[in-house]
Amino acid sequence: MRAYIRGTGSYTPKNIVKNSHFDAIGSSDEWIYDKLGIKERRISTGETTSDLAFQAALIALSDADLTPLDIDLIVLATATPDRPVPSCACFVQEKLEATRAVSFDISAVCSGALFAAATGTQFIESGMYKNVLVIGADTFSNITDWSRRDAVFFGDGAGAFVLSATEEDKGFLDFDLHTDGRGKEHFTIPSGGSERPTCTDTIAEGQHFFQMNGKEVFNTAIEVVPQSIHAILKKNNIDIDAIKCMLPHQPSIRILKEVARRVNLPFEKVKTNMDRYANTSGGTIPIILDETLKNESFDQGDLLLFSAVGAGWTWGTALYKW
C-alpha cells in the first residue's frame, strides 16, 4: 500500500505587505529581494491559523473529490496554533465537521509539512487509514516583533493535501528525516512554555516573539539539506538527473540556489514562490505543491523531491513518484 496525493489546496490572507513597509525600520526592498528573494508577503488581519488551514483544506477536499466525512486523520503542521491547548488540528476538525477524523498537530516548524506527510503516509502504508488530510499552516505575524528587521522574513499562509491509499506504483516512496536538538537556540520563542511561562517580565522583554540566528540558519540549511537529498537518492538508487522537480520549503532564494548547486540540480527545476509569500513556515511545501499543480501537470512516473529545514533543528527530504 502506498500513499498518493489525491488533491491539493492553499489559502493565504488577502492583505499584501510589500517590502517598502519595512523602510521605516531600516530595511529596504533592495536588501530583502537580493538576500531573500522576497517581494511581498500575506499578513492576516484577524484570521487565525485554523481559519487559513480550514480554507486550504476545503479546497484540497474538493480537489480530491472527497467530503470531510471521508477523512480518517488530520495531521496539521504548525508552530503558531490558535491556542497552546487544544491542538490546532482540533479547531480545523470542528470547522470542517470532519467528525470521523482523529486529529493532531505536528511541531517541526519549517519542516512541519514534511514530517506531517511522513506521518500520514505511515498510517496509510500500515493499512490503518485510507484518507489522511495533511495541512501546513502558520501565522508567523503573531510571533513577530514588527519593530525588528527580522520581521521581513515571514508571511502567513496555509496549504493542504489529501493522501489516499493506492496499490498502484505511485505516491511517497521514501522519507529521510532528521532532528538535532543542539540547534534549538538558533531559532526559538523563549517564553510561553514550561521553561519560561509568560509573565509581565517575558512580555516586557519581547520573549514571546521568535528569535533567529540568520547566519546559523543559512549555514546549517546549505549543509544538511544537500546531505539529506544525497542520502535519499543514494538509498533509492536514483540519479539527480532523474528528478523532474524539487518542491522545497521556502527559506530564502540564496539557500535554495546553494542547495541546488550542491546537489547538481538545475535551478529551473526548483519551484519557488517566496517572492509573493515570503516564508510561510509550515505552509510553504503544501502551498508550492498546490500552485505547481494548478499551473502544470506531471506525467505518470515523474519523480519529485520535497525538502525542508527548520527550527530544532529539523530537516529532511521526501521522494515522490507521480
Ligand X SMILES: CC(C)(COP(=O)(O)OP(=O)(O)OC[C@H]1O[C@@H](n2cnc3c(N)ncnc32)[C@H](O)[C@@H]1OP(=O)(O)O)[C@@H](O)C(=O)NCCC(=O)NCCS
Catalytic machinery residues: 110, 249, 279
Cell of 160: 493542504
Q: Least distance (Å) from ligand X to the CB of residue 218?
A: 4
Q: Applying CB under 6 A, which part among 79-87, 135-143, 170-178, 215-223 lies near ligand X?
A: 215-223
User: 37: left (phi > 0), else alpha (psi -120 to 50), else beta?
Assistant: left
Q: Decide whether 164 or 228 has the Cβ nearer to ligand X.
A: 228
Rounded to the nearest angstrom, the gap between the alpha carbon of residue 132 and the centroid of all alpha carbons in its chain is 17
Told to check if 164 binds ligand X by CB under 6 A, we report no
Candidates 93-101, 148-156, 175-183, 195-203; binding stretch for ligand X (CB under 6 A): 148-156
Name the grid cell of 170.
505511485
* CB closer to ligand X, 244 vs 262: 262
207-214: long-range pairs with CB below 8 Å, 24+: 208/143, 209/143, 209/144, 209/145, 209/148, 210/140, 210/143, 210/144, 210/150, 211/187, 212/150, 212/153, 212/186, 212/187, 213/185, 213/186, 213/187, 214/150
* Residue 1: CB minimum distance to ligand X, A: 33
217 binds ligand X (CB under 6 A): yes
91 backbone φψ class: left, alpha, beta (φ>0; ψ -120 to 50): alpha
Antiparallel, parallel or unpaired: β 243-248 and 303-310: parallel
Number of residues that bind ligand X (CB under 6 A): 20
- Report d(CA 265, CA 112) in Å as an integer: 24
CA distance 71 to 132: 6
Q: In angstroms, rounded to a whole number, what is the distance separating the alpha carbons of residues 317 and 85?
A: 29
251 is an interface residue for ligand X by CB under 6 A: yes
- Residue 252 in the binding site for ligand X (CB under 6 A): yes
Q: Which region among 172-180, 192-200, 247-255, 286-294 touches ligand X (by CB under 6 A)? A: 247-255
Report the site for ligand X in 90-129 (rule: CB under 6 A).
Answer: 110
DSSP H helices in 97-183? 112-125
One residue of 33, 218, 298, 322 binding ligand X per CB under 6 A = 218
Q: In whole angstroms, how close is the CB of 60 to ligand X at the nearest point?
A: 24
Q: Nearer Cβ to ligand X, position 57 or 288? A: 288
For residues 7 and 160, give the distance between their C-alpha atoms in angstroms, rounded to a whole number.
Answer: 8
Cα angle: 180, vertex 289, 307; to 5 degrees = 25
**Smallest gap from residue 102 Cβ to ligand X (A):** 29
33 binds ligand X (CB under 6 A): no
CB of 306 to ligand X, least distance (A): 15
Which residues, at least 6 apart from 128, have a Cβ–Cβ distance to it below 8 Å?
72
| Residue choice 29, 31, 58, 322 for contact with ligand X (CB under 6 A) | 31
Tell whether residue 152 is a contact of ligand X (CB under 6 A). Answer: yes
For ligand X, the closer of residues 152 and 259 by Cβ is 152
Helix axes 284-295, 49-63, angle to 10 degrees: 30
According to CB under 6 A, which one of 202, 214, 240, 244 is a site residue for ligand X?
214
Instruction: Decide whether 37 or 68 has the Cβ nearer to ligand X.
Output: 37
Minimum distance from residue 197 beta carbon to ligand X (Å): 26
Instruction: State the nearest-atom distance from the C-beta of 29 to ligand X, in Å.
Output: 10
| Footprint on this chain of ligand X (rule: CB under 6 A) | 27-28, 31, 35-36, 110, 149, 152-153, 212, 214-215, 217-218, 251-252, 254-255, 279, 310
